[in-house]
Structure 1
Amino acid sequence: MEQSNWQNLRAASRGSIQSLIVTVKALLYARLWGGKFTFVPGDNIYVATGMRGGFARGGTTIGGVFLTRRVPSSALLRHEAIHADQWARYGLTFPVRYFWEEVRNPHAKNKFEIEAGLRDGGYSQ
């Protein structure tokens, strides 16, 4: 891998080893679903577009990768970059934490969505 690719992976995973592993697996997963990915330097996140499925709602962030069908807006990318931060902060426990929070406080009441910015995420308040 080129040095810039390693730098992008490190930036997308926010220096977290757990997030790095998840990010690499998410990129492979995106390929399996027909996704084509690019790295967005300002938000330090990969965006996998053109996916046939394999994500929830309008898209899902796994590690430092946003999986979706269409090219997202800059506001949505800001929102998803914060979810990448959350992956780095909580590591492999993040999906469990997110799911539990979603069960107790769905959608716009989910503390992880609130932290990521409800308006940027397209939630009506």
Structure 2
Amino acid sequence: MEQPEIGPGAATRVRTVANWINLSTPLGLLVATAGRCRLRRGPRGLWLAEGYRLGFPIAGAFTVGSVVITPGRFADLAVRLPRLLAHEERHATQWCAWLGLPMLPVYLVAMAWSWLRTGDRAAANAFEVHAGLADGGYRPGSHRQGSRR
């Protein structure tokens, strides 16, 4: 008997529920609240948090669970990076795949590895590569002069 495929709607629901259960979305909402963000529901099970005021992490946008957080406004980001939400949605799926909170230290190790190897926090970071470097506003293949790939 052939297994039915899970459609995009069902996959989104699974990710959304899993990120609540694994506590990554509640953590994302806590980070957004601490950063005094304006919160609203976004597409495909995401929460969008604008106006983040804490200085860390330094990023145009970052995702915790199913919460996408930016210090600016998503409308302004969409002009410069029209595929940014697709990139951040892939990070939401990564939070689900890593069962939530364990992703945080693993992501930090991947970022440190990328920095040591390339001088860039994203170029060799497996999470960023799989989320789509260009979609996230990163230059693919940016490596230190003389470093080995």
TM category, shorter: 0.7 to 0.9
Normalising by structure 1, we get a TM-score of 0.79
Pick from 81, 86, 94 the counterpart of residue 86 of structure 1: 94
- Alignment-mate amino acid for residue 107 of structure 2: Y
Query: Aligned partners of 1:12, 1:108: CA distance in 2, in Å?
Result: 29
Percent pairwise identity: 32
Paired residue for 1:51? Answer: 52
Q: Is the 8 A contact 2:122 2:133 kept in 1?
A: no
- Measured against aligned partners, the alpha-carbon deviations of 1:76-105 in whole angstroms (never above 9, x if no partner) come to 110000000000000221111111111112
- The yes-or-no answer on 1:111 pairing with 2:126 is yes
Q: Which has the higher contact order (CA 8 A, sep 6+)?
A: 1
Paired residue for 1:121? Answer: 136
Q: Is the 8 A contact 1:64 1:84 kept in 2?
A: yes
Can you give the 5+ residue segments of structure 1 that lack an aligned partner in the other structure? 1-9
Q: Call closer, same or farther: CA 1:12–1:122 in 2, change over 3 Å.
A: farther
Paired residue for 1:31? Answer: 33
Q: Is the 8 A contact 1:12 1:65 kept in 2?
A: no
- Alignment-mate amino acid for residue 93 of structure 1: P
Displacement, 1:15?
2.7
Q: Is the 8 A contact 1:13 1:63 kept in 2?
A: no
Q: Which moved more, 1:67-76 or 1:107-116?
A: 67-76
- The structure carrying a bigger strand percent of its residues is 1
Normalising by structure 2, we get a TM-score of 0.67
Can you give the 5+ residue segments of structure 2 that lack an aligned partner in the other structure? 1-11, 115-120, 141-149
- The structure carrying a bigger helix percent of its residues is 1
The structure with more radius of gyration: 2
Q: Tell me, what secondary structure is at the counterpart of 1:14?
A: helix
- Alignment-mate amino acid for residue 87 of structure 1: W
Q: Tell me, what secondary structure is at the counterpart of 1:100?
A: helix
Q: Tell me, what secondary structure is at the counterpart of 1:67?
A: strand
Aligned pair count? Answer: 113
